[in-house]
Structure 1
């Protein structure tokens, strides 16, 4: 693909996250990287380009509507990688993913939508394997920290001859906001469930993104916890993590794509952590209650209009000050088959869903475009760990992300 006109096309560059991604690449892409901006409106693309740092001023713009197959085909055949922020992906993402799979063009997105990823696997995996394309979903806060943390835990266990991973739990803490695009993605899944009851099974099956559901081990129900409780291992008050249902399925897909390298008894879950003490318990209870009420309001036709009025609209999101002051910290603990225990830590500054996500998607796109033989030998519908692995770990460390593993003393 070195003969192609562009290295990376940013699709959705006029959207909230698309602008952040374009700005990140303008500041941090290596000199000489050939980048283009793409979306539905030439005038809006040119306006965005005028507001970017100087290296972006000569970037070409490409007009391509998500519903225009010919325009999508022309765009994807012009580039090595498409990095797309156009969601909800269940509504708009499949034609682009399929076009990339057919053309042998690598693809990276920010989806947190189980139903979209399942549909993309069904429609695109064989095509991408035939063309050599890496179609990589979940390249932002969903689900890079989760996927790479368990990837690093597995590497350490292999290095120490500690055998497979057993019970593995992520505790997430973060400061960040919500954009209208994130809310709209949730709406898309709720609407899909209301019209297709089969989607409910996909949403609640812990192995719904597996490449071979019948080959998965029977480890009992692995439902995401929905109550507040005190974690016996850390003493923290914990509750449901809004991204757990998606992230956990991505991590399990990584395990399956690697031939269950993490182990046949690998169990994984994610929780929000609030610390110890009474105040932490109150915060956990309040947030869990608010989350439950928001989901019910979105799903109930009677309260949906009120929810829609109060929620941010597509294109809206946290301001610059809020994005800069945000952060996230993920601690992932595991026990191995030999009884040794390890802790993986992934942290970064910046609003996790926006500032930090622009870094993660930007570096994922650059890795797919520029890292060549450093990438795992893989194609098809992939996860961040199976598509980029250590190459992405190294890139994020170079951008001041913390990604480390240590053994838990006394284990």
Structure 2
């Protein structure tokens, strides 16, 4: 890639998670990294920069609106990599992906919106492969832990000489954190699309909806993601609202690597409700809350009530809540040969905000600075297939625990 004005442009730096990501970059980027903050409002950009550590004092401000195609092309073309927090991505994201794919600029976002990721891949994958751009969706809590967890399990099996592939992976997820308005807007937008658009509804029903080669998928029956309370490895499990999208990302990673994880891979993700009678009660409560939430979003009158009760866009958990948060993903895998493996990914900090800012920031820095260490791929990718061990190493250096071993 020819020399660019910036190593990294952070688009949406004035959003809630954008400002947190900017703070992480100011603390974590190596000296001399050329970071620019981008957004619509120069005064708000300047205010964000004033509150950052001293390393960001001279970061340039790039005024750009995602509806202004020429300005967006200039911003994308000025950088080696661009990270964006401007969502909902289904409403605002595609022009940004297209600008980056055309300019050969690496791209990272926080999207957990299935329809958007599918549309972006369809529109830009060939173009990005032609220009050498790595387009990487889901670089936050959706879906870095899930995607890297299976990546590590695959690496552990390969290291043990077990080359038949993984047959079954179950993830148990526990977390504590708050909710922001941006996440709420994305969830509500996706729920509305499922309710009103038959094409999106069919997409959500297809376990291989993000596959780059749908016809070649083996058609392996996948575990049901919305299930009654049940036991996984001696613990009670409940449905996770993030599970469907995370599973789609894992399956796309598998297909992008030529089904290296295993042609018959089955992946499922659940909330970890704990052990014993208390765990059963907690699993039942979580299952009921998930069902009620889905029903409320399906009906316009109750959907309006939900929208009024949840945080507005731009709002998010306070500093104390973010500091008190944490997440833990435990993975249990069985290979095609019957051998078992276990993995764990965990970190402190609110998963959707404090930890997500680290994940997006490190993914963006990897795209901007780690080129020779990254997998030799371009196009519409996933965290595991675009960044792989480079992101694993970066997150470990920031205090995340990521490991996988024979069980």
Q: What's the TM-score, normalizing by structure 2?
A: 0.98
CA–CA separation in structure 2 for the residues paired with 1:191 and 1:185: 10
After superposition, where does 1:200-239 map in structure 2 within 5 Å? 200-231=201-232, 234-239=233-238
CA–CA separation in structure 2 for the residues paired with 1:185 and 1:276: 33
**Residue number in structure 1 paired with 2:347:** 348
After superposing the two structures, state which structure 1 stretch, 101-110 or 270-279, moved more: 270-279
- CA distances 1:51-102 after superposition (whole Å, capped 9, x unpaired): 1111111111111111111111010000011111111100100000011001
**Residue number in structure 1 paired with 2:294:** 295
In 2, are the aligned partners of 1:204 and 1:223 still within 8 Å (CA)? no
Tell whether 2:145 aligns with 1:145.
yes
**Residue number in structure 1 paired with 2:23:** 23
What is the CA distance between 1:226 and its match in structure 2? 2.9
- CA distances 1:283-302 after superposition (whole Å, capped 9, x unpaired): 22212222222222222111
CA–CA separation in structure 1 for the residues paired with 2:79 and 2:208: 33
What is the CA distance between 1:189 and its match in structure 2? 1.1
1:333 is paired with a residue whose SS is strand
In 1, are the aligned partners of 2:212 and 2:256 still within 8 Å (CA)? yes
- CA distances 1:107-166 after superposition (whole Å, capped 9, x unpaired): 000011111100011001011001100000000111111111111111111121212101
In 2, are the aligned partners of 1:39 and 1:62 still within 8 Å (CA)? yes
After superposition, where does 1:131-210 map in structure 2 within 5 Å? 131-162=131-162, 163-210=164-211
Structure 2: unaligned runs, 5 residues or longer: none
What is the CA distance between 1:337 and its match in structure 2? 1.8
CA–CA separation in structure 1 for the residues paired with 2:36 and 2:326: 29
Tell whether 2:282 aligns with 1:283.
yes
What is the CA distance between 1:306 and its match in structure 2? 1.0
In 1, are the aligned partners of 2:237 and 2:271 still within 8 Å (CA)? yes
CA–CA separation in structure 2 for the residues paired with 1:290 and 1:57: 45
**Residue number in structure 1 paired with 2:311:** 312
1:274 is paired with a residue whose SS is strand
CA–CA separation in structure 2 for the residues paired with 1:72 and 1:204: 34
In 1, are the aligned partners of 2:8 and 2:364 still within 8 Å (CA)? yes
After superposition, where does 1:76-115 map in structure 2 within 5 Å? 76-115=76-115
What is the CA distance between 1:230 and its match in structure 2? 2.1
CA–CA separation in structure 2 for the residues paired with 1:73 and 1:99: 5
What is the CA distance between 1:305 and its match in structure 2? 1.8
CA–CA separation in structure 2 for the residues paired with 1:292 and 1:37: 40
What is the CA distance between 1:338 and its match in structure 2? 1.8
**Residue number in structure 1 paired with 2:119:** 119
- CA distances 1:21-64 after superposition (whole Å, capped 9, x unpaired): 00000111100000000011111111111111111111111111
**Residue number in structure 1 paired with 2:388:** 389
What is the CA distance between 1:221 and its match in structure 2? 4.4
Structure 1: unaligned runs, 5 residues or longer: none
What is the CA distance between 1:273 and its match in structure 2? 0.7
Q: What's the TM-score, normalizing by structure 1?
A: 0.97
**Residue number in structure 2 paired with 1:73:** 73
After superposition, where does 1:227-266 map in structure 2 within 5 Å? 227-231=228-232, 234-266=233-265
CA–CA separation in structure 1 for the residues paired with 2:286 and 2:305: 20
CA–CA separation in structure 1 for the residues paired with 2:339 and 2:226: 25
In 1, are the aligned partners of 2:195 and 2:201 still within 8 Å (CA)? no
- CA distances 1:298-345 after superposition (whole Å, capped 9, x unpaired): 221111221111011011111101101110110111111222100011
CA–CA separation in structure 2 for the residues paired with 1:73 and 1:142: 27
In 1, are the aligned partners of 2:157 and 2:406 still within 8 Å (CA)? no
In 1, are the aligned partners of 2:148 and 2:388 still within 8 Å (CA)? yes
Aligned residue pairs, count: 406
2:274 is paired with a residue whose SS is coil
CA–CA separation in structure 2 for the residues paired with 1:85 and 1:334: 33
CA–CA separation in structure 2 for the residues paired with 1:189 and 1:104: 29
- CA distances 1:329-385 after superposition (whole Å, capped 9, x unpaired): 101111112221000110100011100111110000000011121000000000001
CA RMSD of aligned residues (A): 1.0
CA–CA separation in structure 1 for the residues paired with 2:381 and 2:365: 16
In 2, are the aligned partners of 1:206 and 1:223 still within 8 Å (CA)? no
CA–CA separation in structure 1 for the residues paired with 2:401 and 2:303: 40
